[in-house]
A and B are shown apart, each in its own frame.
Chain A
Amino acid sequence: RKEVEQDPGPFNVPEGATVAFNCTYSNSASQSFFWYRQDCRKEPKLLMSVYSSGNEDGRFTAQLNRASQYISLLIRDSKLSDSATYLCVVNWGDSSYKLIFGSGTRLLVRP
């Protein structure tokens, strides 16, 4: 089983759509969770941390289910500029520094 698993997509949605990405992780000791965004041939950029209670940042909502070891990202009112690859990221077990990256889910928002 992969340490962090994501559907590679691509998700092809029209502008204004709501789209959800899911991710599962294998190490139940993990404590820190993130979504990163990566544009083509660029560095990954931190989109948001994911907290147990769920958190929202504008059009983006992240949820964590520790029991199921499952993380989600919801994007509402998609914009063309949201087109990118979204990386699910988890710290490795109780490590204070090692991050494990999923392979990413590609999103294409069309006009």
Chain B
Amino acid sequence: NAGVMQNPRHLVRRRGQEARLRCSPMKGHSHVYWYRQLPEEGLKFMVYLQKENIIDESGMPKERFSAEFPKEGPSILRIQQVVRGDSAAYFCASSPGTGGSNYGYTFGSGTRLTVV
């Protein structure tokens, strides 16, 4: 049973380009959570999605960032017109239902975005 799969592992983008980060949840999980870790900081909640629904995007920057979790396929975190400050590690976790934080999450291996 594969864990949470994220790709790519490393992504380099020039300023102004778009970055698309993918997260495939564990089998049978329909809830996905994205977190961002800036250098030397802890992880920060970005967004919580269920299939075809955004439940809480309170941690998402107001501009340039969007997330989706379609009926079929992985969850996508999209960053438009990237800037150097977007350079970070982006981690995804999943759970089978609500209450996932009661048990802790298992994270994917993350995508390290570098903006040059």
Q: Please determine whether chains A and B interact with each other in the same assembly.
A: yes
Number of residues of chain A lying within 8 A (CB) of chain B: 26
The answer for the CA separation of A97 and B106 in the assembled complex, in Å, is 13
Is B102 in contact with chain A by the CB < 8 A criterion?
A: yes
Point out the residue from B95, B102, B104 that lies within 8 Å of A46, measured CB to CB: B104
Of A14-22, A52-60, A72-80, A99-107, the one with at least 4 CB within 8 A of chain B:
A99-107
B101 engages A101 (CB within 8 Å): no
B105 engages A103 (CB within 8 Å): no
Complex interface: chain B residues within 8 A of A49 (CB):
103-104
Complex interface: chain A residues within 8 A of B107 (CB):
43-45
B43, B55, B99, B103 interface centre (most CB from chain A within 10 Å): B43
Task: Return the chain A residue nearest B98 by Cβ.
Answer: A96
B95, B101, B110 interface centre (most CB from chain A within 10 Å): B101
* Contact digits for A49-73, partner B, Cβ 8 Å, 1 yes 0 no: 1000000000000000000000000
Complex interface: chain A residues within 8 A of B89 (CB):
41
Task: Return the chain B residue nearest A85 by Cβ.
Answer: B42
Complex interface: chain A residues within 8 A of B45 (CB):
92, 98-100
Task: Given the known inter-chain contacts A97-B48, A97-B56, A103-B42, please indicate yes or no for A42 contacting B109, CB distance below 8 A.
Answer: yes
Residues of A at the B interface (CB closer than 8 Å) are: 4, 31-32, 34, 36, 41-46, 49, 87, 89, 91-92, 95-104
Q: List 25 A-B contacts (CB under 8 A).
A: A4-B42, A32-B103, A43-B107, A43-B109, A44-B91, A45-B107, A49-B103, A49-B104, A87-B42, A96-B99, A96-B101, A96-B102, A97-B48, A97-B55, A97-B95, A97-B98, A97-B99, A97-B101, A98-B45, A99-B104, A99-B105, A100-B45, A101-B44, A102-B42, A103-B40
